[in-house]
């Protein structure tokens, strides 16, 4: 019998059978009327999820490609930018902007904590020539969700653009692009949107277009001005990943059928159950309750036990895959994703496997304690 596997990492995430089936449909031409109808339909649905009236562009690339597009189109050499860093993916904004010749003001927050909007306000006041502020909605490396609403209101009072990495959050965590003054929101297909890797999606505000039009950075494939020329015809500048577009349409239909409020509530419930289970097992959570991510939970390994040793047992003996720590958190934490196509039973399987793995690596665990705590959250008792 072929082994079942349980993928609980923050991307790529499991793809629903409905979406897989949709992507097996016969290929259509990317310059055909069928594709144009599909493209227009997808954008209408994405605007509901993004909560925006802005144009939304779908690029055939990874989520990092979408981040690079946001930088390449808004940062000219010598521009002063502000990057808000509280983990590995906040660092990526700094790395990208430096590659495009920006003068980078990097504000670092302790990993496992959220961005302090007051610090953002102070930096903008001290540096009125900052052109772009780069933030992360959901810091996947630590399991922290930042207060995009508060940061957006602060940035909107200045001439700076507000660019947000929503790669792991969009689809699992609510975001209100227009109300929260997000000038560019970029996300990826392989996380909460329940697709294979290969699409980057971004909304562009009118304020951002003015900067893009004046931008001096060299770019070709990620030139959003080329993409905008094709937008009225519902075409793309270059060959799109047609099958992924079809899959995206199916995954968006699933989310809208569930109801976005229900989607976000489901993710929050999975977070609460996972955190309750971890506490019941006597393990330490990385993120505080007030800003803990609804889509991923980061957990410190017990003293004297490597996180990767726990993950190895989970993978080799139970076919359960957790994510490890990155950079300075390597072998110190493990991360349990509950994003996208995830439900209560996924969490119960993950916690049950974790309990057995902990016992096998020598951690004194009361079998069933974590599972019981998660069950109590799900049952509301």
Which residues are annotated as part of the binding site for substrate?
335
Distance CA 223, CA 86 (A): 29
Q: How far is CA 378 from the centre of its chain?
A: 25
Return left, alpha or beta for 174; rule: phi > 0 is left, psi -120 to 50 is alpha, else beta.
beta
Residues linked to residue 296 through DSSP beta bridges, in sequence order = 337
**Residues 167, 212: contact at Cβ < 8 Å?**
no
**DSSP class per residue in 269-322:** HHHHHHHHHHHHTTPEESS-GGGB-SSEEEEEPPTTS-HHHHHHHHHHHH-EEE
* Cis preceding linkage at 191, omega within 30: no
What angle is formed at CA 141 by the lines to CA 46 and CA 63, rounded to 5 degrees?
A: 35
| DSSP assigned state of 248 | H
Question: Taking the CB of residue 309, how many other CB atoms lie within 10 A of it?
Answer: 16
**Residues 92, 64: contact at Cβ < 8 Å?**
yes
| Three-state secondary-structure class, residue 149 | helix
**Residues 67, 83: contact at Cβ < 8 Å?**
no
What angle is formed at CA 357 by the lines to CA 376 and CA 380, rounded to 5 degrees?
A: 5
The binding site comprises 335
Distance CA 264, CA 342 (A): 12
Structure tokens at 206: 């009118």
Burial label for 270, CB within 10 Å (0-12, 13-18, 19+), is buried
């Amino acid at each position: 019998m072929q082994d079942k596997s349980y993928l609980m990492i923050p991307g790529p995430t499991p793809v629903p059978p409905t979406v897989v089936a949709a992507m097996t449909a016969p290929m259509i031409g990317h310059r055909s009327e069928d594709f144009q109808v599909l493209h227009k339909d997808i954008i209408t649905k994405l605007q509901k999820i993004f909560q925006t009236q802005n144009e939304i562009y779908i690029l055939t690339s990874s989520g990092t490609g979408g981040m690079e597009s946001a930088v390449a189109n808004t940062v000219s050499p010598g521009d002063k930018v502000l990057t808000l860093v509280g983990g590995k993916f906040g660092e990526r904004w700094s790395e990208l902007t430096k590659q495009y010749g920006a003068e980078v003001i990097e504000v670092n927050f302790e990993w496992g904590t959220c961005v302090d909007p007051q610090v953002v306000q102070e930096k903008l006041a001290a540096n009125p020539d900052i052109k772009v502020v780069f933030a992360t909605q959901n810091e996947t490396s630590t399991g922290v969700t930042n207060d995009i609403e508060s940061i957006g209101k602060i940035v909107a009072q200045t001439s700076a653009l507000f660019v947000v990495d929503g790669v792991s959050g969009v689809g699992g965590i609510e975001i209100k692009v227009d109300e929260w003054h997000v000038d560019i929101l970029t996300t990826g297909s392989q996380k909460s949107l329940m697709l294979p890797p290969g699409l980057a999606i971004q909304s562009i505000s009118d304020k951002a277009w003015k900067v893009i039009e004046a931008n001096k950075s060299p770019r070709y494939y990620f030139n959003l001005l080329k993409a905008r020329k094709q937008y009225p015809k519902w075409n793309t500048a270059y060959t799109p990943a047609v099958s992924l577009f079809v899959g995206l349409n199916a995954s968006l239909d699933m989310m809208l059928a569930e109801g976005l409020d229900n989607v976000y509530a489901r993710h929050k419930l999975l977070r609460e159950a996972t955190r309750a289970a971890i506490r019941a097992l006597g393990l330490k959570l990385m993120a505080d309750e007030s800003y803990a991510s609804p889509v991923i939970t980061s957990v410190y390994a017990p003293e004297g036990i490597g996180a990767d040793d726990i993950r190895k047992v989970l993978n080799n003996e139970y076919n359960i895959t957790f994510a490890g720590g990155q950079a300075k958190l390597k072998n110190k934490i493990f991360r349990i994703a509950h994003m996208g196509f995830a439900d209560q039973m996924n969490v119960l399987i993950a916690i049950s496997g974790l309990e057995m793995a902990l016992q096998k690596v020598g951690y004194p665990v009361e079998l069933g304690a974590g599972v019981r705590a998660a069950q109590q959250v799900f049952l509301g008792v």
